[in-house]
A and B are shown apart, each in its own frame.
Chain A
Amino acid sequence: MAEDAVFRIAGVTKSFGPNLVLGGIDLALRAGEVTVLMGANGAGKSTLVKILSGVYRLDGGAMTLAGAPHDPATPAEAMRAGVVTVHQNINDGVVAALDVATNLTLDRLNGAAAPLFFSRRRVRREARAIAGRMGLSLDLSADIAGLSLADRQMVAIARAMSHEPKVMILDEPTASLSNSEATRLFQLIDRLRDRGVAILYISHRMSDIRRIADRILSLRDGAIVGTFDEAPLDYEGAVNAMLGQTVDKRAIKARAATKTVFSADDLRIAPGARPFSFSLGAGEVVAVTGLVGVGKTALAETLFAIRKPLGGTMRLDARAYAPASPGRAIDAGVFLVAKDRASSGLVPDFNIYENISLPFLRRLSRLGVSQRRGERHVARAQIGELSIVCRSERDNLATLSGGNQQKVTVGRWLSQPCHLLVLDEPFQGVDIAARRDIAAKLRAGAGGRATLLFLTELDEAMETADRILVMSEHTLIGEHRNEDVDMDRLLAEVAGRDVRGAA
């Protein structure tokens, strides 16, 4: 490790009860350098971030910041010492009810030095200075509530930067950003790097890492298992170290559909969008890919009757399909594994089996009385099928890791047969091993039904689908069989160029 490290931690350990989560981490961050920390779910990334930012105390080891010992008891203390953290959940970093200027100067409203009276003019002036330094071009009087997620994050970062930190930690900052928003974030990070801030960047996303990493650390099972800092960076080596296994590059064997299960004709899902048609067959897994915000979720929700199509018709098993509500869609045999399990998938107060049986209570109950024994039986089957790690089907969701919660979400909809299974970003926030478990299960059970996945990550689509459809501007513009895919054409379509006419 380099001698000129601004921030250095040595032998940091942390356990929760009997679980050793971090088993002696050594790490050094240098000024003006972006260090990327990669790790699967459960590797200990979040715990490490929380120790660095003062949420948790460490059990053993030591941290030094610019030569002085650093052991913050609270997040505020860490911030004052010069270690600021931008957390994954963007809305934790801003106050939605206040305007941009107040948000930028929020930290100055507290503390002994803060003036008693709130001067709008002074706030505006200070905010302008902060925004100017960061090259932030936002209307300072706009309410945060009216800003996009990316703009909110810019505000949170700019505010963090107003403390002139030595170290900045970014915890999966692009998780809810679109590509163009992410690009703006990267430009901001470039600027921070130029100003000599040591940056620790935590991410799953390969595209992010390729763009900004100066150095990569791989974390596995609470230990740093690989350090990569020689240009050109060995990205595959870093992934391998993180997983402890070789990336599976086997192309899947693309299967052909047997009979048509679902078809849509001249479907229109947004005002002004071109109508499109597609059909899905039994036994095939189809992925719709495209950038964030091109209408993938809108299509998924249209199929599940959360939204109404603006035009066109759908047919399921050769009968007209126009469900009035999600309940009707379920009755017709169309299931949706919705995006973002925490907000639209899981019921936090329910245990595993109650979550799995939720949409099927009518089938699983007799005369309106729920049959817990039957529900538990169904849940146990899914726990086994998807290798969900838990003590029993009565476990509370809070005890499960993110990947296992996602398996519960998927398992719920696999627990009953259906005609069309729609999955919207089923691999979001799931490590690669859990992702492979889920993908394998989807492919293995695809027999009697049509399976439609909505995936932003092209790699995920290539890894799981027989056929790949490309979406752009709320319409489908390309189709590829997952065999010797013409990557140039596919990427051009993803980027929004309709090459069907030209090809």
Chain B
Amino acid sequence: MTDPGERTAMDVRTDEGHLGKMAPEPPRRRSSVREIAIRYGFIALLLGLVIFFSAFTRGFASPQAAVFILQSVSITGILALGVTATLVVGGFDLSIGSIATSSMMAAAYVMVVLEQDAMTAVIACLAIGALVGLVNGLIICYMRVPDLLATLGMMFLLIGLQRIPTEGRSIAVGMTLPDGSTAAGQFSQAFLALGRHRFDFFISNLVPSSVVVLIVLAILIWFFLEYTRFGRMMYAVGSNARAAEFAGAPVKAYKIWAYVISGVFASIGGILLAARLGRGDIASGNNLLLDSVAAALIGFAVLGAAKPNAFGTAIGALFVGVLLQGLTMMNVPYYTQDFIKGAVLVIALMFTFALAGRAAR
């Protein structure tokens, strides 16, 4: 796709071709230091961090630590991959965090209060995600509400809505219901396995299922965005919606689909969260929105893409995970975490927009 290495300054225009020939075979462009920095800087930084932490902490360079990092970023990573889809069509989805917690609450409610099985709970969650995404898309495309405002409103609405069925209480096995009775349902073992089962990978019981889900979804959305015509049209819609419309694309449908994807991914994140916690916890998931948006935005800087992309999002999530895990192992206090995440985000954005922007101009 966009290769900043191939950009030349806007004003250095090749003159009009009067000769009826293609320009002579291009000399392979010597990549300047800046171009290399833009392209590989972030990945080099990630590798540098890994090497640094491996050298200076004990236990960082182990399969268990690697898996732990992946597990710690799996849910934010999944949400970030979903929001990437909306960024691609030039939108934004602030409701992903609340979709995830709503779907966590719904899963707990379906199993504990309604006494249904794991399958029903999963389907209910996915349906909620798809429905909220659809509503977001419809509000944005047909009611012409700006994306940030529409999804901000939806976020508020969901945060409130998820508390209504239980009158503001968290959902746990054996809880007292508003009418005074005791909830009889259980978190099914199959459901809990989604969050707690570990697959064997060379070492037995190594890879948690949430990590597998993350990797599968990352590959899916990456392939979808980069290699299918639908993904390409979504990028076209995000870059110039009018031109996409004049090229025959149903622009509104693509935008709505992007929000549906985002909603479904967020609800998958919520399912994993519920399975990990084993309860519907009102207080959990506060940081999900900011962490996942940060990962998607950090992704702009990866490979100098300067645009939303699935690979970058995955690397962005991983970057935050590595950094926090490493610093924790070096005994940096927990309360500095948000500061560090914010600093990484700001630096990544400066990196993207200042360096890449200068190269394009």
Contact = CB atoms under 8 A, between A and B. Distances in A.
Given A40-B16, A359-B248, A369-B227, A351 B2 contact: yes
A interface SS class: mixed
A42 B16 contact: yes
Interface stretch (B52-60, B208-216, B230-238): B230-238
Interface residues of A, number: 61
A345 B229 contact: no
A330 B248 contact: yes
A184 B114 CA distance: 75
A488 interface: no
Interface residues of B, number: 44
28 contacts: A16-B11, A306-B246, A326-B247, A327-B249, A327-B250, A330-B247, A336-B246, A338-B246, A343-B243, A344-B242, A344-B243, A346-B240, A347-B240, A347-B243, A347-B244, A348-B240, A349-B238, A350-B235, A351-B1, A351-B3, A359-B248, A362-B229, A365-B228, A368-B229, A369-B229, A389-B15, A390-B22, A398-B7
Contacts of B239: 347-350
B9 interface: yes
A242 B10 CA distance: 24
Nearest to B12: A16
A431 B233 CA distance: 31
B334 to A, nearest CB: 40
A322 interface: no
Interface string A389-424: 111101110111101100000001000000000000
A399 to B, nearest CB: 5
A89 interface: no
Given A361-B232, A365-B228, A396 B2 contact: yes
B144 interface: no
B240 A389 contact: no
B243 A361 contact: no
Interface of B: 1-3, 6-23, 26, 227-230, 232-233, 235-236, 238-240, 242-250, 307, 360
B235 to A, nearest CB: 7
A169 B142 CA distance: 44
Contacts of A431: 16
B239 to A, nearest CB: 4
Interface of A: 16-17, 19, 21, 40-42, 46-47, 221, 304, 306, 325-327, 329-331, 336, 338, 343-351, 354, 358-359, 361-362, 364-365, 368-370, 383-384, 387-392, 394-396, 398-401, 403-404, 412, 431, 433-434, 437
B12 A19 contact: yes
Nearest to A19: B12
A351 B248 CA distance: 19
A368 B11 CA distance: 37
A390 B17 CA distance: 9
Nearest to B245: A326
A4 B17 CA distance: 40
A325 B236 contact: no
Contacts of A327: 248-250
Contacts of A392: 26
Contacts of A384: 22
Contact of B248 (A40, A42, A326, A394): A326
A208 B13 CA distance: 27
A387 B14 CA distance: 13
Contacts of B19: 387
What 10 pairs across the A-B complex have the smallest Cβ distances?
A389-B17, A391-B26, A327-B248, A361-B229, A349-B239, A359-B247, A401-B13, A16-B12, A330-B248, A365-B229
